[in-house]
Chain A
Amino acid sequence: MPTIKLINICKRSNGSLILKNINLEIPNKSLYVVLGPPRSGKSALGRIIAGLDTPDAGRILFDDKDVTDLGPVERNVSMVFQDFALYPHLTAFDNIASPLRKLKLPKEEIRKRVLEVAEYLKISQRLTHYPSELSGGEKQRVAIARALVKGAQIIILDEPFLRLDLKVREDMRAELHRLQKDVGVNVILLSSDPMDAMAFPENIAFMQGGELVQVGNLIELYENPKNISVARYVGMIEMNVIQAKIARKNDKRILDTGIGEITLPITPQLSGSEILVGIRPEHIHIGEEGGHPYAGNIFTFEGRVKISEVIGSETIIHLDVGLAEPIRILIPTIYKKNPGEVLRATFNIKDVYLFNANGQFICRGGSILG
């Protein structure tokens, strides 16, 4: 429930810094996603919030109370681990009861609470089974039940869905929503899956290389990513990024992408000689101008189909355009194309993301074109 403040958190491991000056405020009763690629420091941060590790520098406050030197029990924090960490020699019931046994509650009380939580997470039928007899989703529920049963105010889940099937993941995401609404705990989700960010769009912190890169909601990270990493990560499929050279022609800036030129008015933002042009696969359209929802500012290019995958009701096409990487295109319908076929594709320059040579976000095409 509390507001969590992380102030100047640093952590070393094996001599190098794995958390670099993290400053973060997590609102109370929120469902917070810490998103980032592997080795970005998410787990380390999670362990520090939980109290399993102490930071080498910095402080942690719960509702302005300094908890930096307290352990997980004193902080009233629970954790759900990536591999569920269920005790293999205990039944599901005993697993869930474990934190309560430590508190030395009377047997009837323990039984009551365990059954309550198991009921809530719909695993009452499986309580007498051992972890080895449970499915992935069931194990997850037991792990969450164990985390809930002691009435913790903060629950941290470290890559909880990694080992679950896609369908089960969806179910569990819905469960987390329900949980958070009903019980009102702080739920902190550490994840490397952008789909989790999309399922819980209100509070997202993107981490990379031990640093907090950007904090905000999904729209902010999607429309105005701070840098290329955020832009690539947050999105259904990774954004296409093309290197381009900037040249002057008459009174316009020309971005030479290698597959065509983008003409833009001169602005101070377009300085330097190199620039990175990003365009999301979902913003690229197949076909001629006529089929395009917008008018004007259209960039057209051609290529050969390298791979065409149909996933569910969508199609992803990898188009070989003569650049180092093929261009990914996401089409919202089923669109079968054979490898080798030539396709025409277009996108609106307004949708483009511009980054400088260091990967920092400059602006969207739309803000220059107006």
Chain B
Amino acid sequence: MPKKTFSPIFLQIPVTAIIWSLVGFVLVWLIYSFLYSTSPGGQPTFAALNNLITMFSDSRLFNAVLRTIYYAGVGTVIEVLLGMLVALALVNFISNTTVRFVVLMIFLTPMALSEAIASHTWLMLLTPQGYLNSILRSLGLPPVGWLSESMALTSLILADVWQWTSLPLLLIYAARVSVPQELYEMASLERLSAFKTFRVVTWPYIRNAVVVAALLRFIFMYITIDKILLITFGGPGFATETLGYYIWMQSFSYRNISYAATLSLATLIGATIVAYIFWRVMTRR
């Protein structure tokens, strides 16, 4: 084919230019601010070592990371399990595909909404004078401190479960629907128990969807701080301070620019590793 002046590289230049117009600065700034700290009106001083020492001895950071793992971990497990249960229940208990479709669409609604909207919806429920407590009190039950120090994180997980269980639900449902019906007929002919049927027929087909859904949810749960920003503000105390919220505080409340950059850089490195894991899982299929 003549005309070798066309190179596929040209196809990538526009997106690369757009992305790097911002990302380039971001990376350079983060690295520079990690290395050097400038006090207002002063000269840049070498700060890398201090930053690292602070980071590794920062117990608040350590707790934030633990909290993040707990939040994302518990949230992911609940969302994937619940999503799987609902997906399988949808297929098993609703045979009319139109009805099933409508019900599925209803279940998918929360995930189409903005985190901001979902946060305020749950704020209405969780706030001390909000709907959940109103309902409890009108039934004669004592109100619950949904946003108290002991319960806030759990409430956030509840809100996230409400919004995002539909993602694993969608992925697992699609996988479940792709299983050839004959396999289930064979299983019932061989009189396999429900559990056995699940393990032998269903699971091999949905396993990938489960893994992908879990990875996606875990990643997006530690990335997103919208609900924390809007419902609990990291509190009460540090009860809902995840890694992301802590960096937010360092960036905009405490204005420790150099340290914030350090933490951001560390988080980015971690995020790249996680993205790599996700990539390997996706391309293995």
User: Is there any pair of Cβ atoms, one from A and one from B, under 8 angstroms apart in the complex?
Assistant: yes
* Nearest residue, chain A, Cβ from B3: A71
Question: Quick check: is A54 within 8 A (CB to CB) of the other chain?
Answer: yes
* A16: min CB distance to chain B, Å: 21
> What CA separation (Å) do A70 and B2 show in the bound complex?
6
> What CA separation (Å) do A310 and B1 show in the bound complex?
49
Question: Quick check: is A368 within 8 A (CB to CB) of the other chain?
Answer: no
Q: Which of A71-92 contact B (CB under 8 A)?
A: 71
Query: Total A-B residue pairs with C-beta atoms closer than 8 Å?
Result: 10
> What CA separation (Å) do A351 and B3 show in the bound complex?
54
**Count the B residues whose beta carbon is within 8 Å of the partner chain — how many?**
3
> What CA separation (Å) do A51 and B1 show in the bound complex?
6
> Hey, which chain A residues are within 8 Å of B3, CB to CB?
71
> What CA separation (Å) do A54 and B2 show in the bound complex?
8
> Hey, which chain A residues are within 8 Å of B1, CB to CB?
51-54, 71
> Hey, which chain A residues are within 8 Å of B2, CB to CB?
54, 69-71
Q: Which of B1-51 contact A (CB under 8 A)?
A: 1-3
> What CA separation (Å) do A46 and B3 show in the bound complex?
20
> Hey, which chain B residues are within 8 Å of A52, CB to CB?
1
* B5: min CB distance to chain A, Å: 13
> What CA separation (Å) do A71 and B4 show in the bound complex?
12
> What CA separation (Å) do A51 and B3 show in the bound complex?
12
> Hey, which chain B residues are within 8 Å of A69, CB to CB?
2
Q: Which of A93-133 contact B (CB under 8 A)?
A: none
> Hey, which chain B residues are within 8 Å of A54, CB to CB?
1-2
> Hey, which chain B residues are within 8 Å of A71, CB to CB?
1-3
* A14: min CB distance to chain B, Å: 16
* B2: min CB distance to chain A, Å: 5
> Hey, which chain B residues are within 8 Å of A51, CB to CB?
1
* A288: min CB distance to chain B, Å: 48
> What CA separation (Å) do A53 and B3 show in the bound complex?
11
* Nearest residue, chain A, Cβ from B4: A54
Q: Which of B156-206 contact A (CB under 8 A)?
A: none
> What CA separation (Å) do A208 and B1 show in the bound complex?
25
> What CA separation (Å) do A187 and B1 show in the bound complex?
21
* Nearest residue, chain B, Cβ from A50: B1
> What CA separation (Å) do A56 and B219 show in the bound complex?
46
* Nearest residue, chain B, Cβ from A70: B2
Q: Binary interface profile of B, 226-259, with partner A (CB < 8 Å = 1, else 0)?
A: 0000000000000000000000000000000000
Q: Binary interface profile of A, 25-67, with partner B (CB < 8 Å = 1, else 0)?
A: 0000000000000000000000000011110000000000000
> Hey, which chain B residues are within 8 Å of A70, CB to CB?
2
> What CA separation (Å) do A139 and B2 show in the bound complex?
30
* A295: min CB distance to chain B, Å: 56
Q: Binary interface profile of B, 75-111, with partner A (CB < 8 Å = 1, else 0)?
A: 0000000000000000000000000000000000000
> What CA separation (Å) do A71 and B2 show in the bound complex?
6
* A246: min CB distance to chain B, Å: 51
Given contact pairs A53-B1, A54-B1, A69-B2, a sample of 7 additional A-B residue pairs in the complex whose CB atoms are under 8 Å apart: A51-B1, A52-B1, A54-B2, A70-B2, A71-B1, A71-B2, A71-B3
Question: What are 10 A-B residue pairs whose CB atoms fall within 8 Å in the complex?
Answer: A51-B1, A52-B1, A53-B1, A54-B1, A54-B2, A69-B2, A70-B2, A71-B1, A71-B2, A71-B3
- Sorted nearest first, the 10 A-B pairs with minimum C-beta distance are A69-B2, A71-B2, A54-B1, A71-B1, A52-B1, A53-B1, A70-B2, A51-B1, A54-B2, A71-B3
Interface residues of A (CB under 8 A from B): 51-54, 69-71
